[in-house]
Amino acid sequence: MPVQMPVYLDYNATTPIDPRVLEAMMPYLTSEFGNAASRNHAFGWRAEAAVESAREQIARLLGASSKEIVFTSGATESNNLAIKGAAAMYREKGNHIITCTTEHKAVIDPCKRLAEQGYEVTWLTPDSYGRVSAQQVADAITDRTILISLMAANNEIGTLHPIVEIAKVAKDRGVIFHSDATQAVGKVPIDVEATGIDLLSLSAHKIYGPKGVGALYVRRRGPRVRLVCQMDGGGHERGMRSGTLNVPGIVGLGAAAEICRTEMDAEAPRLAALRDRLHKGIADRLDHVQLNGHPIERTPNTVNLSFAYVEGEALMMKMKDVAVSSGSACTSASLEPSYVLRAIGVGDDLAHSSIRFGVGRPTTEAEIDHAVERVVTAVQELRQLSPLYELAQEGVDLKQVKWAPH
Residues marked active site are found at: 330
User: Do the Cβ atoms of 78 and 216 come closer than 8 Å?
Assistant: yes
Quick check: 308 and 382 in contact, CB under 8 A? no
Alpha helices by DSSP H, listed for 214-311, are: 247-283
Q: State how far the Cα of 41 lies from the Cα of 34, in Å rounded to an integer.
A: 9
How far is residue 8's CA from residue 378's CA, in Å, rounded to a whole number? 17
**Burial of 195 from C-beta contacts in 10 A (0-12 / 13-18 / 19+):** buried
d(CA 183, CA 172): 27
Contact 131, 102 (CB under 8 A): no
> 276-280 contacts: CB < 8 A, separation 24 or more?
277/365, 277/368, 277/369, 278/9, 278/303, 278/357, 278/359, 278/368, 278/371, 278/372, 279/303, 279/305
Query: Residue 127: which of 295, 278, 275 has the closest Cα?
Result: 295
Measured distance CA(144)–CA(134) in Å, rounded: 18
Distance CA 188, CA 268 (A): 7
Strand 302-307 with 289-292, pairing:
antiparallel
Is 209:255 a contact under the CB 8 Å cutoff? Answer: yes
